[in-house]
Amino acid sequence: MGGGGFDVVTGAFSYTGSGIAHALLAQGRRVRTLTGHPGRPGADPRIEAHPYRFDDPGALTRSLEGADRLFNTYWVRFDRGDTTFDGAIDRSGILFRAAERAGVKRVVHVSVTHPDIDSRFPYFRGKAIVERMLAETCTSWAVVRPTVIFGPGDILMNNLAWLLQRFPVFAIAGDGTYRVRPVHLDDVAALCLDLARRDEPLSVDAVGPDTFTFEEMIMQIRGAVGGRSRIVHVAPRLARAAAAAVGLAVRDVLATDHELGGLMTEKAFSDAPTTGQIRFAKWIREAGPGLGCRYASEIRRHFR
């Protein structure tokens, strides 16, 4: 696998991190990951796994020494037990300082579109704080801000397909006209690798070539998977209650308040220049038959 250097990808056995890691491997790069699941069954044996050592900054620094670049996807989707947004912010700072001490040449950080330090949504507020910490800590950095990522192994699209196939009614919060601009995982990874080759500080939205309303996206998923759910519009509070009820039934968190709120305030949309090439409609038609066969649990993937 070419050269003496290597790259570190946090969470390379998870979703976005796996896309970046496999893009690097395809270029002949050596890849190391920092992960909360270093012994995960079925993990790619080409990727050298080290545990996160946020409790030991010295050990964390040593795990980054010799790396050319750090691709950071570390974050949390919701608070659960000791895993919190505040904790994720603190740990991100520990990671960036360790990268600086280790002499990592460039950090590429995966954030989200419309991070906002004043947001009422902890997800978007935390993302903004972490971006600011990165800029204050590391001298060479880039930030990639995806909208809604779709692709192989995607929990969101799979579970939307599962709902549309199994429930007689699918509830959309509000009028469903809020826009989304989904971007494929491979396009996000390609953008990360492109920005890693540069030197200047950059923040770039990762956006696909197509814009839909949320309802239009749901209709495309329903058609691709052969779902028969009737689409209904409900007040946001009823949509949140329905999501909580389904989450309770499957022992998972189906959707959070900040995810629903972010969708409805178009945080999954950006009018920035297109960075991705893969069209959602084509992908969902091809992937549809394999989606929603079973529910994919976020809690099972990350906490068990």
Domain layout of the chain by residue ranges? 6-139, 150-180+210-299
**What per-residue confidence (pLDDT) applies to 302?**
64
**Segments of the chain assigned E as strands:** 6-10, 30-35, 48-51, 67-72, 106-110, 141-146, 149-150, 169-173, 179-180, 183-184, 202-206, 212-213, 230-234
**What per-residue confidence (pLDDT) applies to 299?**
79
Other C-beta atoms within 10 Å of 8: how many?
28
**What per-residue confidence (pLDDT) applies to 81?**
79
Helix ranges (H only) for 103-206 are 122-137, 155-166, 185-196
Looking at this protein, which amino acid is placed at residue 192?
A: C
Cα separation of 72 and 38, whole Å? 16
**What per-residue confidence (pLDDT) applies to 254?**
87
Cα separation of 114 and 278, whole Å? 22
pLDDT in tens, the chain (304 residues): 334 589 999 999 999 999 999 999 999 999 999 998 777 766 789 999 999 999 999 999 999 999 999 999 999 987 787 889 999 999 999 999 999 999 999 999 999 999 999 999 999 999 999 999 999 998 899 999 999 999 998 999 999 999 999 999 999 999 999 999 999 999 999 999 999 999 999 999 999 999 999 999 999 999 999 999 999 999 999 999 999 999 999 999 888 888 999 999 999 999 999 999 999 999 999 999 999 999 998 877 766 5
Cα separation of 270 and 265, whole Å? 11
Pick the CATH number of 150-180+210-299 from 2.60.40, 1.25.10, 1.10.10, 3.90.25: 3.90.25
For residue 33, list its beta bridge partners: 9, 49
* Burial track 262-288 (b if 16+ CB lie within 10 A, e otherwise): bbbbbbbbbeeebbbebebeebbeebb
Given a contact cutoff of 8 angstroms between Cβ atoms, the answer to whether 65 and 100 are in contact is no
Local structure of residue 148 (DSSP, 8 states): S
**What per-residue confidence (pLDDT) applies to 304?**
55
Burial of residue 203, with CB atoms counted within 10 A of its CB: 0-12 exposed, 13-18 middle, 19 or more buried? middle
Cα separation of 184 and 206, whole Å? 9
CATH classification code of 6-139? 3.40.50.720
